């Protein structure tokens, strides 16, 4: 069996040979100075390929100060997107109208607070989720469909709702610490694939020996 190939744009080929053109390895599609995306992280959308970056993060501009950092093996379902810091209008005064952007001489809001959005590895973001500015999602977390994530999400938490709150933790704290130490997503792909039965079944003993 060939190994997963992180250099592909369209990584899903159906058993009948049909290549899915809606599921993309983001790293090979997006060339954006404010985005860092790890290998094997995919996004499904039905828009134009060239519009992937703006579908994923509509307010992250080339000149934005914040970054969107996405780890490895992140799974982002259709309809989900990131609202990053550059989406914010000034709120300290009386009006929120962004007067400055309508004149080239004043364009920009470099005095507004900005924060990176960070998604850890092996995070699953369900359909139609919205991730708000500056949120950090820990590795192994699950974001339920149609959630609006406004606060940081701990590693291996399942969160859902608007605003998203913790539905449950996937593992006890001690196991989570061990999984973060193990960081299987940083293993060579040969080792990952050789240990898929243990990864898929949750056989931690086998992973400890791997």
Ligand X SMILES: CC(C)(COP(=O)(O)OP(=O)(O)OC[C@H]1O[C@@H](n2cnc3c(N)ncnc32)[C@H](O)[C@@H]1OP(=O)(O)O)[C@@H](O)C(=O)NCCC(=O)NCCS
Catalytic residue among 14, 32, 45, 89: 89
Binding ligand X (rule: CB under 6 A), the pick from 52, 84, 121, 147 is 147
- Give min distance, CB of 79 to ligand X, in A: 9
18 phi and psi, to 5 degrees? -70, 130
Which CB, 149 or 192, lies closer to ligand X?
Answer: 149
DSSP state of 90: P
Under rule CB under 6 A, which residues in 167-186 are in contact with ligand X? 167
Residue 140 interacts with ligand X (CB under 6 A): yes or no: no
Which CB, 77 or 85, lies closer to ligand X?
Answer: 77
Residue 47 CB-half CA count within 13 A: 13
In the sheet with 157-160, reading across from the earlier edge strand, the strands are: 23-25, 42-44, 75-76, 124-125, 142-143, 157-160, 165-169
The length of the chain, given as a count of residues:
210
Closest listed residue to residue 30, CA positions, set 88, 78, 70, 66: 70
Is 45 assigned a catalytic role? no
- Give min distance, CB of 197 to ligand X, in A: 22
Under rule CB under 6 A, which residues in 77-106 are in contact with ligand X? 77
Residues with active-site annotation: 89
| Contact residues for ligand X, defined by CB under 6 A | 77, 126-127, 142, 144-147, 158, 160-161, 167
């Amino acid at each position: 069996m060939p190994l997963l190939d992180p250099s592909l744009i369209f990584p899903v080929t159906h058993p009948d040979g049909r290549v899915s053109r809606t599921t993309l390895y983001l790293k090979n599609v997006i060339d954006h100075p404010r985005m860092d995306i790890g290998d094997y992280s995919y996004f499904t959308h039905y828009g134009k390929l060239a519009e992937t970056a703006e579908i994923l993060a509509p307010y992250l501009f080339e000149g934005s100060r914040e970054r969107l950092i996405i780890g490895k093996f992140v799974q982002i379902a259709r309809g989900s997107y990131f609202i990053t810091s550059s989406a914010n209008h000034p709120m300290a005064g009386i009006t929120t109208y962004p007067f400055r952007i309508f004149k080239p001489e004043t364009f920009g809001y470099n005095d507004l607070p900005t924060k990176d959005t960070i998604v850890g590895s092996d995070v699953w973001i369900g359909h139609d989720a919205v991730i708000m500015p500056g949120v950090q999602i820990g590795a192994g977390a699950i974001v339920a469909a149609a959630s609006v994530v406004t606060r940081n999400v701990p590693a291996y938490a399942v969160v859902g709702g608007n605003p998203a709150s913790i539905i449950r933790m996937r593992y006890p704290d001690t196991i989570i610490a061990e999984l973060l130490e193990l960081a299987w997503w940083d293993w060579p792909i040969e080792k990952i694939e050789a240990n898929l039965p243990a990864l898929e079944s949750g056989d931690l003993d086998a992973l400890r020996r791997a």
